[in-house]
Amino acid sequence: MKKYILHLDAIIVVIILFVLCISANIFQRKLHGDLHKENIALISQLTNTQLELIESKSSLKQCSGKDNVN
Phi, psi of 27 (to 5 degrees): -65, -45
DSSP 12: H
Q: What is the pLDDT of residues 45-67, one digit of tens each?
A: 999 999 999 999 999 988 887 76
pTM of the model: 0.63
How confident is the model at residue 69, as a pLDDT? 54
Distances (CA, A) of 41 to 6, 19, 46, 55: 53, 33, 9, 21
pLDDT above 70 for 68: no
